[in-house]
Amino acid sequence: MHTLAGVYAAAITPMKPDFSPDLDAIPSLLDFLTSRGCHGVLLLGTTGEGPSFSEKERVGIFRSALQIRSPQPSCKLLAGTGTPSLTETITLTRAVFDLGYDGVVVLPPYYFRKATDEGLFKYFSELILHAVPAEGSILGYHFPGMAGLGFSLDLLTRLKETFPRQFTGIKDSSHDQGLALQLGERFGDDLLVLTGTDSFLQLALGNHAGGCITAPANLISPLLRTIWDGYLRGENISSFQAKLTAIRHTLEKYSPFPPTLKTILAGQYGFPLWPVRPPLESVKPEIAELLLREWSSVVI
C-alpha cells in the first residue's frame, strides 16, 4: 500500500475563549489521537475549521503540530491548504512542505463553483509546479457538498498522468457510494483514495481505497483501526463496520461536526470544552446533554 495509506483523524482545532487557536493544546490532542490508533492526522480540514483561519494562524497551527513527532515519530502529518486564492494556496503549501509535512489535502477553489475541468487542471498544475516538491504528495479534497465543486474522474486521470508522483490521490468526502466503486474501477491501486465517510470504509477498502480521513476518528479511531487492520489480515470485519455505521449516523444527527466533536471530547475524554469560531456555534447545553447520553449508549 502507499506510504500514506491508513487511518487519519480530520482533527478538530483547539481554541481559546477568544476564538484564537490554542497552540499549546494541539500536541496533546494529536498524542491522544495517535496513541488510539491513528496513523496520522489532517490539520485544518473541514472539521478543523480550516477556512476560518488566516494564513498566519494556519502556519502557526501547522508549526505547533510538529511537536507530536517527539513522542510519536511515526505520526503522519497532512495539512489542509486549499483556498479560493491560488497565490495563498501556493504560499501555504510551500510553508507546509518547508515544515516537513508528509502531504497536503487541497480543496478546489470553492468560491468559483462554475469552474471547468480545464480551469481546475490549470489551478492544480500551477500549485504543484510552484509549491509541491518532487518528493511531495498532494491529495485533492473532493467534497462537492461543501465546496460546491469537485474532481471528475477525467480530471483526476489527467492530474495523475501529468504529475504521477506528486498527485498522490484524493480524500473522498462525497458520501457517494457509486463514486467509491468508480474510483476503484478507474484507478485500482494507482491512486490513493482515503474515504471521508466512515459508513463506507469497508466498501472503499474493498475497492482499492487505502484508508480514511474522518471526523469521527477524533473519537473512535480504535474502531477504525480495528477495521483497517482486520481488512488487511483478510478477516471478516462486517460486524465492526455495522457498529461504525451506527456511530456515524448518530453523529450526523448533531451536525455540524466541529462543535459536536468538541462537546464529546470534553464530556467523555476530559478535554477542555473548546469553542468553535463564528459563524459556527457551540452546542447548546440542553442539546449537549442529549448528545452525550446518546453517545454513551451507541459506543458501548
Q: Which residues have a catalytic role annotated?
A: 46, 111, 141, 171
* Grid cell for residue 72: 510519536
Amino acid in the structure at residue 266: A
Q: Which helix (H) or strand (E) holds 76?
A: strand 76-80
Of residues 25, 89, 13, the one with CA closest to residue 55? 89
Residue 55 has phi, psi (to 5 degrees) of -60, -45
- Other beta carbons less than 10 A from residue 163's beta carbon: 16
Beta carbons of 5 and 211 less than 8 angstroms apart = yes
Q: Does the bond joining 279 to the residue before it have cis omega, within 30 degrees of 0?
A: yes
- Other beta carbons less than 10 A from residue 152's beta carbon: 13
Distance from C-alpha of 47 to C-alpha of 10, rounded to nearest angstrom: 6
Cα separation values, 57 from 22, 27, 92, 241, Å: 11, 16, 11, 37
Name, in order, each residue with C-beta under 8 angstroms of 128's C-beta and a sequence gap of 6 or more. 138, 163, 166, 167
Distance from C-alpha of 180 to C-alpha of 205, rounded to nearest angstrom: 9
Helices 217-232 & 26-35, crossing angle to 10 degrees?
A: 30
Distance from C-alpha of 41 to C-alpha of 228, rounded to nearest angstrom: 16
